[in-house]
């Protein structure tokens, strides 16, 4: 495990517990010192689990058969990898063409956590879900801390406090967890998603599903949302403006896999919201749902609406984000581990591997990213 290169990244790829599981499997685990410090896993626990701390990270990286890290590596780190090394991390492959080429040039096998199929078989490795769920929880906690109102209804001798109104736009993994968290805190919750199948799930959490007729929206075979036409986006905005204006907290999670996130909350909609209300844009890393939102910054509009620009909400709960992410890494390794040879065996016929292997043996092999050959 090399150090994470992105500032603000507090998670690690393994915990001491998963380190022990991999050592038991037959792996030799090496890590830079302090890898779990920010997520509250001390070095001593990693070494007690069987890991060794490396003296020279560059030498260890160049010798590794398998590299585990949370975020994408630097081009310099990729150039260090030995041919045949397997690199497992989030990669943002839709936006990182040059990194993919660097992996191919190094003859390394780059595996993207984002591309692991969202199937039952691969559920234990589904890092997008494990992190999105915690991020959805954290979005509500962060918004609650900023909204200056209590969330639940309270009947007191001094009068009745009405519940906060929370509107969640996009009810996938993050959105459903945000809905559940806001409900647990006693808020009155409404939600909207373009995938009609979500209505049932929203209702089962006790929230109201906001109905907006957008015509045919559907979903992809993989269960993802399809991109809306400009006319559908305009209809959606018109349908949501009133709900936003009545809400104290708006949480947006709307994403379209592999594409820029749709711009849903316009400046006009923000201008119609109550002063002191809080908006959390959870799609900022893929372009953002909210006009005027700035990655990494909180912005307050002229009418007093605060837009929180946190780009990695899961890092506010890094201990648990690391716990579940490490379980995802370990499940992937276990799936491809060959007990006899005590090494990884990348079976190219494996459907999970076909989904997430991006480069191999000197080429970009994933059909979505491979250069056109004809
Ligand atoms: P995501 O992060 O890509 O998108 C978040 C949500 O935004 C989605 O629900 C999407 O429908 C919604 N959205 C997109 N455009 C929108 C718009 N204009 N307005 C409002 N909402 C919009 O999605 P995700 O949370 O990663 O989940 C995607 C799908 O994968 C879901 O169907 C989920 O149930 C499925 N999934 C399946 C498994 C499994 O079977 N193992 C695991 C995890 C997720």
ipTM of this predicted structure: 0.93
Q: Pick from 132, 234, 255 the residue to mutate for probing ligand 1's pocket: most ligand atoms within 8 Å of its CB.
A: 255
- Measured from the CA of 227, which atom of ligand 1 is nearest? 15
Cα–Cα distances in angstroms (integers) from residue 155 to residues 151, 158, 159, 163, in the given order: 13, 8, 6, 10
Cα–Cα distances in angstroms (integers) from residue 286 to residues 92, 260, 281, in the given order: 10, 6, 11
Q: Report the alpha-carbon distance of residue 195 to residue 183 in Å, rounded.
A: 21
C-beta 256 within 6 A of ligand 1: yes
C-beta 264 within 6 A of ligand 1: yes
**pLDDT at site 230:** 84
Q: Report the alpha-carbon distance of residue 276 to residue 303 in Å, rounded.
A: 8
- Using only the alpha carbons of the chain, give its radius of gyration: 22
Picking from 173, 243, 166, the residue whose alpha carbon sits closest to that of residue 206 is 166
**pLDDT at site 373:** 56
At a CB cut-off of 8 Å and minimum separation 6, what does 78 contact? 87, 99, 102, 103, 106, 108
Residues tagged active-site: 118, 123, 126, 129, 224
**pLDDT at site 22:** 98
CA of 61 to the centre of ligand 1 (A): 35
CA angle 107, 111, 113 (to 5 degrees): 160
What DSSP character marks residue 123?
G
Q: 3-state DSSP call for residue 155? A: strand
**pLDDT at site 164:** 97
pLDDT in tens, the chain (374 residues): 999 888 889 999 999 999 999 999 999 999 999 999 999 999 999 999 999 999 999 999 999 999 999 999 999 999 999 999 999 999 999 999 999 999 999 999 999 999 999 999 999 999 999 999 999 999 999 999 999 999 999 999 999 999 999 999 999 999 999 999 999 999 999 999 998 889 999 999 999 999 888 788 777 777 777 888 888 888 888 889 999 999 999 999 999 888 899 999 999 999 999 999 999 999 999 999 999 999 999 999 999 999 999 999 999 999 999 999 999 999 999 999 999 999 999 999 999 999 999 999 999 999 999 887 54
Catalogue the long-range contacts made by 240-245 (C-beta closer than 8 Å, 24 or more residues apart): 240/167, 240/169, 240/192, 240/210, 240/212, 240/264, 240/265, 240/269, 241/268, 241/269, 241/272, 243/167, 243/190, 243/192, 243/210, 244/167, 244/269, 244/270, 244/272, 244/273, 245/269, 245/272, 245/273, 245/274
Tokens read off for 49: 């689990």
Closest-CA residue, ligand 1 atom 2, reads 255
C-beta 130 within 6 A of ligand 1: no
C-beta 192 within 6 A of ligand 1: yes
Q: pTM surpassing 0.90?
A: yes
Q: Pick from 254, 281, 289, 328 the residue to mutate for probing ligand 1's pocket: most ligand atoms within 8 Å of its CB.
A: 254
Tokens read off for 146: 């900023």
Phi-psi region of 34 (alpha: psi -120 to 50; beta: other; left: phi over 0): left
Contact by Cβ (8 Å): 133, 171: no
């Amino acid at each position: 495990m090399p150090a994470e290169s992105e500032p603000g990244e507090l998670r690690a790829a393994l915990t001491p517990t998963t380190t022990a599981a991999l050592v038991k499997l037959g792996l030799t685990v090496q890590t830079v010192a302090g890898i779990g410090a920010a997520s509250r896993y001390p070095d001593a626990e990693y070494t007690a689990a069987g890991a060794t701390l490396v003296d020279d990270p560059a030498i260890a990286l160049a010798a590794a058969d398998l590299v585990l890290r949370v975020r994408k590596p630097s081009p310099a780190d990729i150039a260090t990898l030995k041919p045949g090394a397997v690199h497992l991390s989030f990669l943002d492959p839709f936006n990182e063409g040059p990194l993919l080429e660097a992996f191919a040039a190094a003859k390394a096998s780059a595996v993207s956590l984002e591309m692991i199929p969202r199937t039952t078989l691969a559920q234990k490795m589904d890092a997008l879900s494990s992190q999105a769920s915690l991020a959805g929880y954290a979005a509500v906690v962060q918004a609650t801390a900023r909204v200056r109102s209590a969330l639940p209804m309270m009947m007191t001798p001094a009068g009745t406090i009405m519940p906060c109104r929370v509107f969640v736009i996009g009810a996938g993994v993050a959105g459903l967890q945000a809905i559940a968290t806001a409900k647990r805190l006693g808020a009155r919750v409404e939600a909207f998603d373009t995938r009609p199948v979500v209505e049932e799930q929203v209702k089962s959490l006790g929230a109201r599903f906001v109905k907006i007729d957008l015509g045919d929206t559907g979903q992809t075979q993989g269960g993802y949302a399809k991109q809306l036409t400009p006319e559908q986006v305009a209809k959606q905005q018109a349908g949501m403006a009133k709900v936003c204006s009545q809400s104290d907290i708006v949480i947006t999670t709307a994403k379209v896999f592999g594409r820029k996130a749709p711009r849903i909350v316009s400046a006009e909609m923000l201008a119609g919201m109550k002063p002191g209300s809080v908006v959390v844009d959870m799609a900022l890393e893929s372009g953002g749902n909210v006009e005027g939102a700035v990655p990494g910054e909180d912005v307050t509009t002229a009418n007093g609406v605060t837009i929180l620009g946190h780009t990695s909400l899961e890092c506010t709960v890094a201990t648990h984000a690391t716990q579940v992410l490490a379980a995802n890494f370990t499940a992937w390794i276990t799936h491809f581990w060959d007990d006899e040879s005590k090494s990884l065996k990348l079976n190219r016929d494996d459907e999970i591997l076909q989904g997430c292997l991006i480069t191999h043996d000197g080429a970009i092999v994933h059909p979505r990213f491979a250069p056109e050959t004809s």
